[in-house]
Amino acid sequence: MFDTFAEWDVSVSDSVTIHGRSGGEGPPVVLLHGHPRTHTTWYRVAPQLAEAGLTVVCPDLRGYGRSAKPDPDENHEVYCDRAMAADIVALMRSLGHRRFAVVGHDRGSYVAYRTALDHPDSVSRLGVLDSVPILEALERAGTKFATAWWHWFFLGASPHAERVITADPLAWYRPNEKAMGRENYLDMTRAVADPATVRAMLEDYRAGLTVDRAHDEADRAAQRVISCPTLVAWSVRDDMEDLYGDPAGIWRSWVSGELTSARIESGHHMAEENPDQLSETLVRFLR
């Protein structure tokens, strides 16, 4: 796994060190994982992008995997997407990249589009996978969404979530070693066995329901949009189309630049379930 990639721990602030891997040569792209994965979810995609002539950076987001897990604050700002986006910009600059593409899946997509909104001079291209903006999702959170995505509200609002998950993380997450690949599985399960990781991941969801939503509301009111070329891709065997019809249509009001869409023949964890189609899609977009 990641045989030709360098592994590192990079300090991005006084309290946060980011763990991850990078490899390849060419235009830089940073890949951001979702919940409850770590950077190793990209182990079958990253090498293909590197072989296609890209420099590929795969970090563990703040609080996830082996990255730092600072103490939360009452307003959930420590784990908000704005804070995580600042981590990514600092990380990429430490690695020598002042302008780069950013691609995020699931929770990582929220960090990705926040990076594009807050740091437009740093982001050359944006890819969002299996998501719509948090504000848009919450405004559409009717019975269908609340029934299918109940975990958003349990993780983000229940005072019992941490106790329930830490009692038996593998029973809660039910990871499939065969589908994930052994090393990826071990990296993820080691992470979720740490109560500090569980606490941090819950803070990510708590921020999503509060401060991240407020940041989206402020951007929309100020008519701030994403100016770089943007790829919106989703898994056809997930529920994105059932919930939103055409997810790219929701993104159009948030993007002033060129917008491209793609349907990936996969379930939710597309980087693990259909890495070849995802890699081809990303290479076409990034090159």
- The residues that are catalytic are 106, 268
The sheet with strand 259-264 has its strands ordered as: 6-11, 17-23, 55-59, 28-32, 100-105, 123-129, 230-235, 259-264
Are 54 and 286 in contact by the 8 Å Cβ rule? The answer is: yes
Query: Could you tell me the end-to-end alpha-carbon distance of the chain, in angstroms, rounded to an integer?
Result: 24
Residues near 206 by beta carbon (within 8 Å), at least 6 away in sequence: 76, 79, 155, 156, 157
Are 21 and 8 in contact by the 8 Å Cβ rule? The answer is: yes
DSSP 172: H
CA within 13 Å, CB half, 96: 7
